Amino acid sequence: MIIDPITFFVVGACFVLFMVFSLIRVGLGPTTPDRVVGLDTMNTLVVATMIVLGAAFDEVVFIDVAIIYALLSFVGTLYVARYLEGGL
Amino acid sequence: MGGLIYVLFGISVVFNGLGVIALIRFPDVYTRLHGATKCTTFGSIFTALGIIAYGFARGGAAHETLAIHTIVALVALLVTNPTGSHAIARAAHRSGVKPKGAVVDRLEGRS
Amino acid sequence: MLAILVTAVVAFLFYLLLTLGSGSVGEWSATELITGAVLSLIAGLIAGRVVFSKKERSGKSHYRMLNPLRWLTFLVYLIGPFFFAMARANLDVAYRVITGRIRPGIVRLSPGLSTDLGITLLANSITLTPGTLSVDVDEGTGDLFVHWINVKDTEPTCEAVCGSFPKWARRIAE
């Protein structure tokens, strides 16, 4: 074992804590774009967490899901941005 | 090798935390985007680098596959993150959110 | 036709990368190779016309990015100046979060790039480097509107804001 496997869980727990903080921004607002920024930050953190957990459980599938999640959340962000511009 | 991985994870946690603090502390949507995009992208790059180093250091087919897939995830993140923030910034300006305390706004009046 | 073929080959290479180490034909199993070939052909048929659809304003060839030298330059750029600027950007954000000293504004830059890919590369680089965030683009002239967190000059030149990035973007994508 190169590093203590508990490290992965500690790093993942930190990221989950950061997600809760960005959830505060999603709740506070004050404008809709602010909330979207909070969600976008959460998406990046979810991808990072998935990668870390994939290494923790030795599951390559988690990382494949993270790739797809990154691409789909990007499409979601573009969709919301398009909606805010009024082009939908 | 173990020490290097700990350092990479440490950097990633510090910068992701900084991004979230910037998200909470800055005054308007554009400055929040600055903090959130730059810091979380940089932090996630270091998370991925840590996992890549771990995968290649552990060796074996399964762990190398893990490292290679993480490289693909890193590329996906690096391409999509700034583009998404660009889309949000443009949408914010078009939906009428003004930059707070702006010295100059050359985009004013265009749409 | 060439558009479909190029898209299919790129998709197939990507599939090979993701299934590396699955069997005994080289590094791949026969099933994976056949599935990948069929799927990437379908992807090429669907997406080829989309990937290479739009006419470039500058009239440059669509296939210029197939030159490996451009990708090598891109890799050097990514590891060298880009990564350094990104580290500096994060320390800059840390400084501004702690002191709260900001002077924001949106300025207009004329990088003088003509291709869509070059402008995209420059805009993404600007977003990840110190104190700047690209907000909008003038599609007629290729001018960028950039949110600058610490405005020193309301009519800046491109070099003052983004340093050597336009030069790199021209070398990689023009």
The per-residue pLDDT for range B63-73, each reduced to its tens digit, is: 888 888 899 99
Q: Of C18, C96, C100, which has the smallest distance from its Cβ to B72's Cβ?
A: C18
- Residue A73 confidence (pLDDT): 92
What gap in Å lies between CA A64 and CA A51, rounded to an integer?
Answer: 9
Spatial distance between the Cα atoms of B44 and B27, rounded to a whole number of angstroms: 24
- β-strand C105-109 against C132-138: which pairing, if any? unpaired
B25 neighbourhood in chain C, CB within 8 Å: 97, 100
Percentages (nearest 5) of helix, strand, coil residues in chain A: 85, 0, 15
List the subunits that have 3+ CB pairs under 8 angstroms with C.
B
CA distances from C122 to A50, B53, C5 (A): 30, 29, 28
- A79 interfacial to chain B (CB closer than 8 Å): no
Can you list the alpha helix ranges (DSSP code H) found in chain B? 2-25, 29-58, 61-94
pLDDT digits (tens, 9 = 90+) for A56-75: 888 888 999 999 999 999 99
Q: Is the peptide bond before C81 cis (omega within 30 degrees of 0)?
A: no
Q: Which pLDDT does position C41 carry in this prediction?
A: 92
Structure confidence at residue B111 (pLDDT)? 52
**What is the reported pLDDT for C55?**
63
Partner-chain contact B39 C105, CB within 8 Å: no
Interface check for A46 against chain B (CB to CB < 8 A): the answer is no
Q: Are B67 and B5 in contact (CB under 8 A)?
A: no
What pLDDT, in 10s, does the model give residues B7-53? 999 999 999 998 898 888 888 888 888 888 888 999 999 999 999 99
CB B39 within 8 A of CB B16: yes
- % of chain A exceeding 90 in pLDDT: 41
In this structure, which topology does domain C88-173 adopt according to CATH? Alpha-Beta Plaits (3.30.70)
pLDDT of residue C58: 62
Distance (Å) from the alpha carbon of C30 to chain B's nearest alpha carbon = 18
Tokens of C101: 């000293």
- Can you give the residue ranges of every domain in chain A? 29-88
Which residues, in sequence order, are bridge partners of residue C143?
C138
pLDDT(A1) > 70: no
Domain boundaries, chain B: 2-92
Per-residue pLDDT of chain C (174 residues; tens, 9 = 90+): 788 888 899 899 988 888 887 777 777 888 888 999 999 999 989 888 877 766 666 666 677 777 888 888 888 888 888 888 888 888 888 888 888 787 888 888 887 777 778 888 888 888 888 888 888 888 777 788 888 887 777 777 777 777 788 888 888 877
b/e per residue B1-14 (b: at least 16 CB within 10 A):
eeeebeebbebbbb
Residue limits of CATH 3.30.70 in chain C:
88-173
